[in-house]
Amino acid sequence: MKGNYIPTTTFQKTILSVGSAAIALINPHRGDMIACLGEVTGGNSIKYMREKMLETNEGAKILIEQPRINSRTVCFKTLSEMPEGTVGRVYANFMKDNNITADSRLPVQFIADPDLAYVLQRYREVHDLVHATLFMKTTMLGEVTIKWVEGIQTKLPMCISGGIWGAARLKPKHRQLYLKYYLPWAIMTGNNAKYLQGIYFEKRWDQDIDDFHKEMNIVRLHKK
C-alpha cells in the first residue's frame, strides 16, 4: 500500500473531489474517477469501516493478514470446478458471465495510513463478491442497488451519492422496478445483513450459498 501513496494537500484533495465527482456524474463508467472520489471523501467512513471490521474475529483477522483478491491470489479455474451453489462457484460464474477480471481494481493512492488504505482496497476487491453473493447483475439497476447496500453498511459518501445519482439515470421501466423492489430490498439488506466488509470470503469458498445467506441474514430479492 505504501508504494502507491501519493501525498496531497487539503486544497489538492478538494480539487480532486470536485473534479472526480463532476466527471463521474457525466460518465459513471469512469472507474478511475469513482475510485479517486472514494479516497478523497471517505476519511471518516474508512475509519468507521475499520472499527466495524474489528468488532468480529473474522474481520480482525482480515485486517491482520491483509489478503488480496486478484488473479495471483485466487485460482478461478479451481473455483469454477467447485460444486454448483458454493460461494466459490457462484463467484467464479459471476466473473465469467460478466467478463470481469479480479485485476481491474485500482490501487489506493491518496490515503496516507497504510491500514486505512488497505480497508478501502479490500472494499474494492470484495465489491464483485458482494454482487455475486447477492445475485445482483452489473447493470445500472444492479449497481445502484449494490451501492445502497454498501452505502448503508460502509457510510462511504461515494456509495451514497452513487445510489442517489445512479437512480436518477435509470430508465422509467427500471426506475419503477427500483422503487418497488430493489430499493426497499437494498435498504433492508444493508441494515439487517452482517457487515459484509468483515467477511473473509476466501475462507468460505466451499460454503453453500444458501447457508451463507442464512448466516449473513440475507434474504434474496424475489420480484412478484
Q: Which residues are annotated as a binding site for Zn(2+)?
A: 127-128, 131, 143
Distance CA 20, CA 29 (A): 12
CA 111 to chain centroid, in Å, comes to: 18
Distance CA 217, CA 52 (A): 17
Neighbours of 213 (CB within 10 A): 16
Q: Residue 74: enclosing H or E segment and its boundaries? A: none
Which has the closest alpha carbon to 65: 196, 198, 193, 195? 198
Distance CA 112, CA 186 (A): 32
Contact 30, 23 (CB under 8 A): yes
Contact 96, 175 (CB under 8 A): no
CA 12 to chain centroid, in Å, comes to: 26
Q: Within 13 A of 168's CA, how many CA atoms are on the CB side?
A: 8
Contact 50, 115 (CB under 8 A): yes
